[in-house]
Amino acid sequence: MTRKVSDLKGGEKTEKVFAIAKYNGSTDIETVSKLIEARSAISSADVKAVLDNLNFVLGLELAAGRIVYLGELGTFRLTLRSSGAVTKDKFTNSNVKKARLHFTPGANLRQTCKTASFTSLDVKVKSTENGGGEEKPGEL
């Protein structure tokens, strides 16, 4: 996909090509549960119950200010975004803008990212220039 971006020096618009992920579907919790059931002696209903409870316990532990280590799966922790204050006394809860969930994958998932393959595709993107709406291959 190409997109016009500002040049740092003169403010001129130049076209650059960026990578975008193209997905070929999605997998819901029921399918994940059935796939785990097929690899183990646990029913898909039991797997789903464990995943539901994991979600609940993760919320409790993260809200309590803990980092949650899940072995080879990875680590979950909350991070914060805030605006600064001149002094500690001037800093209040209103300075905190957002809490975010940060996931650090374990070794196996990191390896998946390293071994992912990439191909170039012709992508059609709707143009919004000049109030258009027509599709132009590879342009934005």
Do residues 103 and 74 touch, judged by C-beta distance below 8 A? Answer: yes
Annotated domain spans of the chain: 27-66, 67-120
Long-range CB contacts (< 8 A, 24+ apart) of 21-24? 22/121, 22/123
pLDDT, tens digit (0-9, with 9 covering 90-100), for 74-110: 999 999 999 999 899 999 988 989 989 999 999 999 9
In the block, tokens 């690899």 appear at: 39
pLDDT at 123: 63
Distances (CA, A) of 96 to 63, 67, 84, 85, 140: 15, 19, 9, 11, 36
Rounded Cα–Cα distance for residues 106 and 12 (Å):
42
